[in-house]
Structure 1
Amino acid sequence: MRCAIYIRVSTKLQEDRFSLGAQSSELNTYAVKQGWNIIGQYKDVESGGKLNKQGLNQLLDLVEDGAIDVVLVIDQDRLSV
């Protein structure tokens, strides 16, 4: 199974307090336990209300191209567009 990881916080302050690193670690551990192949990891430090997020846009390109089978996120609200 090919997977991509997406991590996001809304502000620089959250980046320090609600670590992108913690999200990354948890999701990477999960993918490895599942035996999935991690294709890439994408991140943003942007509000969920902002439509143009570089990491999310890159991730969506992979989805549209059929390059991944699953997207891992810490919580569904991280994917808000």
Structure 2
Amino acid sequence: MKKEEILNKLKEIKPLYEKEGLEILGVFGSYAKDTQDEFSDIDIAYRLDYNKFSQKYVDGFSKLLRIEEMKDELKKIFKKI
């Protein structure tokens, strides 16, 4: 997978997650340094707007559940590239 493909996909999905309070900042690690190989994972830097996120997900369990769902969604998205 190429770094450019990853960054383009992140730009595409960024607005969807920002609505919930998750701001995707970019990548770090081997892809950021252009040292990735076929075994590299994709490290995504993000920031959580806790107030915005908490408006939709009130209790702790729902917050944790949604974060896990987001991780699973991102894994699926990047397996398709």
Q: Rg: which structure is higher? A: 2
| TM score, norm. by length of structure 2 | 0.35
Q: Name the one with the larger helix percent.
A: 2
Q: Name the one with the larger strand percent.
A: 1
For CA contacts below 8 A with separation 6 or more, give which structure has more relative contact order. Answer: 1
| TM score, norm. by length of structure 1 | 0.35
